[in-house]
Amino acid sequence: MAIERVISADSGPDKEEQFNNVLRPKRLSEVVGQKNVVEKLSIAIAAAKKRGEPLEHILFYGPPGLGKTTLANVIANEMNAAIRVSSGPALTKQGDVMGLLSNISTGDILFIDEIHRLSALVEEFIYPAMEDFKVDFTVDSGLHAKTINFPLKRFTLIGATTRAGLLSAPLRGRFGMLYHLEFYTTDELTHILRRSAQMLELAYEVGTLEKIASRSRGTPRVANRLLKRVRDYAQVKGVGKLTSQIVDSSLKMERIDELGLDELDRSFLKALIQIYNGGPAGIEAIAATLGEERDTLEDVVEPYLLQIGFVRRTRRGREVTRAACEHLGLTMPQQKAQELPQPELFEEPQ
């Protein structure tokens, strides 16, 4: 059975989405971190406003929970534009896209999350919409099929993806601006938590927010989620105020360690060390061992383990590092020095 995680960076159930919406920055000046992206965006927005033109299409990519949806909403606010939100898996037919595009006004924003999951059919339908602001819509089928050329208002498409590599080259090429979102520093996450605590009217002792931030895997969504868990704990076990001891006990109960790793991270590393002798091991094999989706491991677990240098991705699969073994208190498996390289045929695409 899949391991339930407190720190999965998925947006999770609706209630959590409402919580996220409350805490979402509304203006560019409120966005913490991502300096490079924010700077470029503010120039692009100012220039587009000056010319009285819509923005070019924008692609945000990076692990979940780093602010792609937030930035799309911030851009809409800054441009005084309406935003329509959908996602790759939700747009299955041309008609779904037509529904969104046909009543869009000039300058409006269409946000498509998980854009790498658009079907080939829908993707091709979107190309002329992005490039020439028109679509060729097919009505009826078979002998009676007719293609209607439908002009659109100039809009801005904002795509978000955790996997830029899965985007087809023609789709990627139609975005004027591509921005990679990076993990946040502990200072930046503390700043975000300070704002969240203020909005939630939560009292806290000095140093407690830093502690939560340092265990949030560089991810604002995780930081806010942990804050919520710690707040609940403080209300039940304490007097509502975050103290160092409350934070420690609450995170211990959630089984989150000093580096912010949870059960699934540790299981991933332990499988690599104890079952695959430190690797290299293919992601499919690790996913099967853990009973987890490959996508969850690639989108949520691996990026942070790579970032902190606990895992290496090689052409032959994933390998664990000495630092990871030390963190878990396990001995580094003896590298099979004599092992012959595996044949190319079995190499995994990176």
Q: Would you please indicate which residues are annotated as catalytic (active-site) residues? A: 68-69, 113, 162, 221
221 binds ligand ADP (CB under 6 A): yes
Q: CA 138: distance to chain centroid? A: 34
220 binds ligand ADP (CB under 6 A): yes
Residue nearest to ligand ADP (CB): 67
24 binds ligand ADP (CB under 6 A): yes
Q: What are phi and psi of 147, to 5 degrees?
A: -105, 125
Applying CB under 6 A, what is the total number of residues that bind ligand ADP? Answer: 21
3-state secondary structure 204-263: ECCCHHHHHHHCCCCCHHHHHHHHHHHHHHHHHHCCCCECHHHHHHHHHHCCCCCCCCCH
Task: Kindly tell me which residue out of 31, 76, 130, 287 binds ligand ADP, with binding defined by CB under 6 A.
Answer: 31
Q: Which of residues 240-269 bind ligand ADP (CB under 6 A)?
A: none
109 binds ligand ADP (CB under 6 A): no
Q: Closest separation between CB of residue 13 and ligand ADP, Å? A: 14
32 binds ligand ADP (CB under 6 A): yes
| Closest of 190, 202, 349, 226 to residue 282, by C-alpha | 349
What kind and span of H or E run contains 78? helix 68-78
Summarize the chain as % helix, strand, coil (round to 5).
50, 15, 35
Calculate the alpha carbon distances from 57 to 136, 174, 177 in Å: 20, 7, 6
Which CB atom, from 192 or from 272, has the smaller least distance to ligand ADP? 192
Q: Closest separation between CB of residue 74 and ligand ADP, Å? A: 9
Which CB atom, from 65 or from 280, has the smaller least distance to ligand ADP? 65
110 binds ligand ADP (CB under 6 A): no
280 upstream amide cis, omega within 30 of 0: yes
Which CB atom, from 110 or from 281, has the smaller least distance to ligand ADP? 110
Which CB atom, from 180 or from 255, has the smaller least distance to ligand ADP? 180
The residue ranges that bind ligand ADP (CB under 6 A) are 11, 20, 23-25, 31-34, 64-70, 160, 192, 220-221, 224
